[in-house]
Structure 1
Amino acid sequence: MSEAVRLGVLGCADIAIRKVLPALAHVPSIRLVAVASRTAEKAAEVAHRFGCAAVAGYEELLDRTDIDAVYVPLPPALHADWVSAALRCGKHVLAEKPLTPHPAETAALLDLATSARRVLMENIMFPHHSRQRRVRDLVTTGAIGNPLAFTGSFTIPARPASDIRNSASLGGGALLDAAVYPVAAAQMLLGELDVASAVLRHDRELGVDVAGAALLHGAGDVTAQVVFGMRHAYTSEYQVLGDRGRITVENAYHPRADAVTEIRLQSRNGTAETLVVPPDDQCANTLEAFAQAVLKSNTGPVGDLTSRTAVLIDEMRRRAPAA
């Protein structure tokens, strides 16, 4: 393989245009080759903007021999088919979260990546921010003693009815779109968790869940409370409580690449400290991690959160009382 991963994009979704494709300019280990859309016009528009080839149709992009890997920003309900097709065509895959709406489909794709000896990575970016790594180091080194509890939320304002988050057939809903952030953060900081209880609030007209909460628990009686929704004021935060202090993180999941961020650390005796973290581009870091996995032939699934989070999200759905 060349020194840079040759990338194709399956779909011109908003997150691709607004975040991922601009971040590629800061990742020399990836070279954008082509973008595909269902329409030639859309593909040409995006390709012109980012200086690459335009392809009409996803199959045509997968058939190209000048592409090593693909990024899949399609709606969640389309991931299983197109990620599977890409892996079977010999492409490495970076796919938007959730990898699929169903844990069995997610497990099947992870197994396929392993057998195909191709990298498969779910695009959850915040774990790749240096602030998140520093929080993990603080917890691991005992800065707050034994971690006992996590509370976290990710909520967003209502989107237009046409937004894919409001489409049941495309894999919409707050549980799949928003809950993944605090659920993933809780696991990173507390370890493996199980679902104790959950609630979901549904919009019957749209046919999707729009809000919810869950109580999780793990070894040593640790607990995690998560709140998520898409009819709310914006929140993006978590707190980790230990027996000797606590850590608080605001704007936890989507800090701007040029933003100085903070970690608030408070000890049991009341001493408070604000740790300043320099700006960091978690989107570029995620792309770099994917590229290095491909270039170093670290084939198979990248990271261990994808499967565990998929199972927890599904269990939260099953534990919630019927709407």
Structure 2
Amino acid sequence: MAPSAERKVNFGLIGLGRHGSRYATHLLKDVPQAKLVAVCRRDREQGQAFAHRHGLIFCSDYHQLIENPGVQAIAIVVSPDLHLDICRHAVAAGKHVLLEKPLARNLAEGRQLKDLLDNARIKFMLAQTLRFNSVVREIKRLKDRVGKIHLAAFNQRMERHKLGWLDDPHVAGGGNILHTGVHIFDLIHFLLEEEVEWAWCRTGRVYHQRTEDIFAALLGLEMGKTICLVDSCKVTGGRSGRIELVGERGQLVGDHVLGTLIHIEDRRAVSLELPSSVHTVQKVLEAFANCILDDQTPSITAQDGLRTLRVAEMCYRSAQNGMVAKRRSYLNEGNIESK
């Protein structure tokens, strides 16, 4: 069999908005293991124009794209109210699926999607893109340098989003917690390798009317000795993404947006050299295509997505009732699997 670098996976892309366009650009130019063959966009005029410029098949609805025999894998970059239905049709057609986070609008839909995928004979990967960020990967590589971690802090600062559907709970499922917080919740497990046991959260609205654009949370991990401080806002004029791991022997302080990493020990702070920055969407696409070509299990699963939805739901519950939400109560209610 030819090496994966000499073979290609034919992709169909559902969603050509702001973020979907990033997927399209990388599939057209940057991922040698993949070939973009078809696109689907609700705006027919813009979708047809894009397809014509790049010699692609335009599909007026996602059913048509999924049923196209020339499409082997589907990248889904749409609002989460469509995730479950699109995945059902993709699984029925035997098409591999790369899905933008969040996994679903809520935990109940996430469980339905995971159950569907558990019985499917396709490759599925959730695009938790920050796992491929150079700063994040270097923090993971170096974390033992600071010793046992008892405190971690994660925050995200972003500009105001102008997508109207993000303020529609029926379409979006939630606000900042669900659409940015899940990045942080995934990083907590990726870097610290523990489950979140409890959450205390507060939310705020500045520009949004129905969903939160600010939240802050305290999260306790399963071993009982690590607390995470998490906060995110989408109301500022600049971006940053701070990660701080506080260990018994020192601290690692990085920013995955600004591309910085500092090691602090005693009263000395040393800036660390980082690997070259990467386009994380490109890396996700490369990893997923290679899994298909080499018949490997993708590294980011539906269970990973379900884990982040659980933490998000704990945060929402805490914000609503003012109390600490505990993972144990979800297990007792039968809402989620243990891991």
- 1:50: how far off? 3.7
Q: Does 1:244 align with 2:246?
A: no
Q: Residues 200 and 16 of structure 1: is their aligned pair in 2 closer, same or farther, counting only changes over 3 Å?
A: same
Match of 1:86 among 82, 90, 102: 90
Q: Residues 293 and 52 of structure 1: is their aligned pair in 2 closer, same or farther, counting only changes over 3 Å?
A: same
Q: Is the 8 A contact 2:10 2:37 kept in 1?
A: yes
> Which letter does structure 1 place at the counterpart of 2:148?
N
Corresponding residue of 2:140? 136
- The structure with the greater share of residues assigned to strand is 1
CA distance in structure 1 between the aligned counterparts of 2:201 and 2:171, rounded to whole angstroms: 23
- 1:203: how far off? 6.5
Secondary structure of the equivalent of 1:277? coil
Corresponding residue of 1:310? 309
Q: Does 1:235 align with 2:236?
A: no
Q: Deviations over 1:5-34 (max 9, x none)?
A: 1100112221011x2111221111111010
Corresponding residue of 1:258? none
Q: Is the 8 A contact 1:33 1:67 kept in 2?
A: yes
Corresponding residue of 2:164? 163
Alignment of 1:9-48 (within 5 A): 9-17=13-21, 19-24=22-27, 25-48=29-52
Query: Which consecutive unaligned segments of at least 5 residues does structure 2 have?
Result: 323-339
CA distance in structure 2 between the aligned counterparts of 1:272 and 1:74, rounded to whole angstroms: 41
CA distance in structure 2 between the aligned counterparts of 1:83 and 1:120, rounded to whole angstroms: 10
Alignment of 1:27-176 (within 5 A): 27-139=31-143, 142-160=144-162, 162-171=163-172, 172-176=174-178
CA distance in structure 2 between the aligned counterparts of 1:235 and 1:130, rounded to whole angstroms: 15
CA distance in structure 2 between the aligned counterparts of 1:314 and 1:49, rounded to whole angstroms: 42
- 1:194: how far off? 2.2
CA distance in structure 2 between the aligned counterparts of 1:179 and 1:249, rounded to whole angstroms: 18
- 1:269: how far off? 5.6
- The structure with the greater share of residues assigned to helix is 2
Secondary structure of the equivalent of 2:160? coil
Q: Residues 217 and 79 of structure 1: is their aligned pair in 2 closer, same or farther, counting only changes over 3 Å?
A: same
CA distance in structure 2 between the aligned counterparts of 1:124 and 1:13, rounded to whole angstroms: 18
> Which letter does structure 2 place at the counterpart of 1:197?
W
Corresponding residue of 2:204? 201
Scaled by the length of structure 1, the TM-score of the pair is 0.88
Q: Does 1:211 align with 2:210?
A: no
CA distance in structure 2 between the aligned counterparts of 1:117 and 1:202, rounded to whole angstroms: 42
CA distance in structure 2 between the aligned counterparts of 1:270 and 1:10, rounded to whole angstroms: 49
Scaled by the length of structure 2, the TM-score of the pair is 0.84
Secondary structure of the equivalent of 1:154? strand
Q: Is the 8 A contact 2:176 2:213 kept in 1?
A: yes
Q: Deviations over 1:78-118 (max 9, x none)?
A: 11111222122211111111110112322322232231111
- 1:267: how far off? 1.9
CA distance in structure 2 between the aligned counterparts of 1:34 and 1:4, rounded to whole angstroms: 14
Q: Runs of at least 4 residues of structure 1 off by over 6 A?
A: none
Secondary structure of the equivalent of 2:90? helix
CA distance in structure 2 between the aligned counterparts of 1:221 and 1:36, rounded to whole angstroms: 48
Count of residues in correspondence between the two structures: 312
CA distance in structure 2 between the aligned counterparts of 1:164 and 1:248, rounded to whole angstroms: 34
Q: Is the 8 A contact 2:128 2:300 kept in 1?
A: no
Corresponding residue of 2:184? 182
CA distance in structure 1 between the aligned counterparts of 2:148 and 2:43, rounded to whole angstroms: 54
CA distance in structure 2 between the aligned counterparts of 1:297 and 1:283, rounded to whole angstroms: 21
Corresponding residue of 2:320? 321
CA distance in structure 2 between the aligned counterparts of 1:266 and 1:50, rounded to whole angstroms: 49
RMSD: 2.4
